[in-house]
A and B are shown apart, each in its own frame.
Chain A
Amino acid sequence: MPLLELKQINHFFGGLQAVYNFNLTIEPGELIGLIGPNGAGKTTIFNLVSGFYKPTQGDILFHEKSITHLKPHQVTSLGLARTFQNIRMWNSMTVLENLCISQHYRMGYSFMDAIFSTKTYHEHEKAVVKQAMEILESLGLSEAANEYPKNLPYGLQRRVEIGRALTIKPSLLLLDEPAAGMNPSDIDRLIELIRWIREQFHLTIWLIEHQMKVVMSLCERLCVLDFGQIIAEGSPSDIKNNPRVIKAYLGDEEADDNAEN
């Protein structure tokens, strides 16, 4: 039973077609990568899956149920979490508060409970904080709990953002360029972290990445996107030698030597 299915997705921004006939099936437990030159439509696809955009055509199934027309918070509450290309933490609140708020969909009490300070409220609030602390501890971030995310080093901010996505208790985690802006030692730690959370939380992971080191050492399957179309799909070693991929990344022989890489 596939975990996520994208069927014949077409997406337009006005007259511009950003995604052409995109088809992909992700099985539970997979670690799959989505790569492609800048502007190929990778983040658009993540935005479509997480419900932020509605596809012009096509259907997205998660656990064999259509999520095409759900709002982002509804999609997330089904267990589909994501991180962002540019870290998006709530910077006026502490790391712990960040990890509590992301459990909003299973808060279990209404705002009236909060105002009347009922027993339900206190019980659920306790559970939410406990859950957040557990995740922080497992990621080795318990000391950062009362820090503000913006005061943390970049690598830790990434870790916190992944932690925040984990509080959703996802079955599928989308990582949008987790290694962007990281130095080589941070990247090694990130690769380790992704491997570890995958084991620990039984996750299926789909990631966008430009750092070939990350993609090649982590992903079992790759999907290459160019101008909104899949141009190749397969194992990392196949992709590395695929002439269409090389062409998309390096350009034609006649093309400018300075082309995108």
Chain B
Amino acid sequence: MRHHLSLIVYLAICLLIIVIFQQSWLNAYIQIVMMFIGINIMLSSSLNLINGYMGEFSCGHAGFMAVGAYAASLLNMGLFTTSSIFGHSLFIGPQYSVFLFPVTLIVAGFCAALVGLLVAVPSFRTRGDYLAIITLAVNYIVKSSIENIQEIGGARGFMGMRQVVNAMNNVINIPWLMIWILAFAGISIVALKRFVGSTYGKGVIAIRDDEIAAEIMSVNTQRVKLIAFMLSSGIAGIAGGLFAHVIGYINPGTFTIMKSTEIMVMVYLGGMGSLSGSVLSAILFTVMLEFLRPLQLFKWVLIPLLLIILMLFRPEGLMGNRELSDVFPGLRRFFPSKEY
């Protein structure tokens, strides 16, 4: 019972949110902001695996998000909708989207993980600043490739993902997107937490602390890096797929270095090597962005300024290397502790 306390609490919160959505107690704008929070949690915590735990500097996370967004949208639209770009739906009928939507997201995650190889393989030979440049290049490769494929709209992008959401709502009218965001965000956090909590996954931290010692002390650094990069970019891909369906419209211009920077800001705001920090900062940052919306473009003066102040006075981020349960030990009872 105690071991499942955190799961029960999480499910209760999810249920509450779903009921709120179902009853439309909050307006559509706040609903969308809440969905973005969930997506940003996935993005920041997955980037934290690379930038925080592994100590590399990946600044192309939006590239993986783009791959996931396009893969999920293309799959869903190709399978379940009839549109001018993709022709008649390939599948038996749109009603099957209810079951197959999460599957398409996972496939999208796999696609993004494969593109993650573009960073993982160079990371065997190079690291630090040089790898950062490679991640930047990968971001641009993804963006430019999509821009040049006219079949999927090129630089104009394409829309129609609403139809998929509508198809799901036609079967059972519940807030499907929020449900899947809650599910995938929860799964991602648990997966990342378990990975970095295992001795196997701590190989990632060993690489950050001293890669030579890790390699000589029997850590297969190449495999560990491969897993870390693919896990991270896979989660970013799933987040991208969800993002595309929330917005209902994607174009390559959404997934530029600007988006990558946003994710990075969340990681550094929350604290490197702290998953709860990433979750907190994703919530804080998304809400802050919305509150600063009246400032229009000045928002992008103020937010970087906040980042400068943060780096000067609290460079380790809000949480540093600690988790929420280290700051408030009372929370420990919600998390099963390992005692061997």
Docked complex Cα distance between A217 and B227 (Å)? 47
CB pair B220 A104 closer than 8 Å: yes
8 Å CB contact of A71 from B208, B212, B215: B215
CB pair B219 A73 closer than 8 Å: yes
Name which of A15-23, A86-94, A151-159, A226-234 contacts chain B. A86-94
Task: Known contacts A90-B205, A91-B209, A114-B194; decide if A128 and B199 are in contact (CB<8 Å).
Answer: yes
Tell me if B195 counts as interface (CB < 8 A to partner A).
Answer: yes
Q: Contacts A89-B213, A101-B202 given; 15 further ones with Cβ under 8 A?
A: A50-B216, A52-B212, A71-B215, A73-B216, A73-B217, A76-B217, A92-B273, A92-B321, A100-B199, A101-B217, A103-B199, A107-B200, A111-B198, A115-B195, A117-B194
Docked complex Cα distance between A90 and B219 (Å)? 12
**Distance between B93 CB and nearest chain A CB, rounded to angstroms:** 33
CB pair A104 B199 closer than 8 Å: yes
Q: Give the residues in chain A near B216, CB-CB below 8 Å.
A: 50-52, 72-73, 76, 82, 84
Give the residue name and chain of the A residue nearest to B187 (CB). Answer: A115
CB pair B199 A90 closer than 8 Å: no
Q: Give the residues in chain B near A104, CB-CB below 8 Å.
A: 199-200, 203, 217-220
Tell me if A97 counts as interface (CB < 8 A to partner B).
Answer: yes
The contact string, 1 if C-beta is below 8 Å from chain B, for chain A 103-129, is 111010111001101000100011011
CB pair B206 A90 closer than 8 Å: yes
- Max chain A C-beta neighbours (<10 A), residue from B214, B221, B227: B214
CB pair B200 A84 closer than 8 Å: no
Which A positions have Cβ atoms within 8 angstroms of B? 50-52, 71-73, 76-77, 81-82, 84, 88-93, 97, 100-105, 107, 109-111, 114-115, 117, 121, 125-126, 128-130, 164-165, 168
Tell me if B151 counts as interface (CB < 8 A to partner A).
Answer: no
The contact string, 1 if C-beta is below 8 Å from chain A, for chain B 188-201, is 00010011011111
Which B residues from 156 to 208 make CB contacts under 8 A with A? 191, 194-195, 197-203, 205-206, 208
CB pair A111 B195 closer than 8 Å: yes
Give the residue name and chain of the A residue nearest to B208 (CB). Answer: A92
Q: Give the residues in chain B near A73, CB-CB below 8 Å.
A: 215-221
CB pair A105 B218 closer than 8 Å: yes
Docked complex Cα distance between A76 and B218 (Å)? 6
Q: Give the residues in chain B near A93, CB-CB below 8 Å.
A: 202, 205-206, 209
Q: Give the residues in chain B near A129, CB-CB below 8 Å.
A: 340
Docked complex Cα distance between A83 and B25 (Å)? 63
**Distance between B160 CB and nearest chain A CB, rounded to angstroms:** 34
CB pair B205 A92 closer than 8 Å: yes
Q: Give the residues in chain A near B321, CB-CB below 8 Å.
A: 92
Q: Give the residues in chain A near B203, CB-CB below 8 Å.
A: 101, 104
8 Å CB contact of A125 from B198, B205, B208, B214: B198
CB pair B198 A101 closer than 8 Å: no
Q: Can you report 26 A-B residue pairs in the complex whose CB atoms are below 8 A from each other?
A: A51-B216, A52-B212, A52-B216, A73-B215, A73-B220, A73-B221, A84-B213, A84-B216, A88-B212, A89-B210, A89-B213, A90-B214, A91-B209, A92-B209, A92-B321, A97-B199, A100-B202, A102-B219, A104-B199, A104-B217, A105-B220, A107-B199, A111-B200, A111-B201, A114-B195, A115-B194
Q: Give the residues in chain A near B219, CB-CB below 8 Å.
A: 73, 101-102, 104-105
Q: Give the residues in chain B near A165, CB-CB below 8 Å.
A: 217
- Max chain A C-beta neighbours (<10 A), residue from B198, B203, B216, B273: B216
**Distance between A2 CB and nearest chain B CB, rounded to angstroms:** 23
**Distance between B44 CB and nearest chain A CB, rounded to angstroms:** 19
Which B residues from 222 to 246 make CB contacts under 8 A with A? 227, 231
CB pair A72 B215 closer than 8 Å: yes
Task: Known contacts A90-B209, A104-B200, A126-B340; decide if A115 and B191 are in contact (CB<8 Å).
Answer: yes
Q: Give the residues in chain A near B205, CB-CB below 8 Å.
A: 90, 92-93
Docked complex Cα distance between A8 and B223 (Å)? 33
Task: Known contacts A52-B212, A125-B340, A126-B340; decide if A168 and B217 are in contact (CB<8 Å).
Answer: yes
Q: Give the residues in chain B near A90, CB-CB below 8 Å.
A: 205-206, 209-210, 213-214
Q: Give the residues in chain A near B214, CB-CB below 8 Å.
A: 90, 101
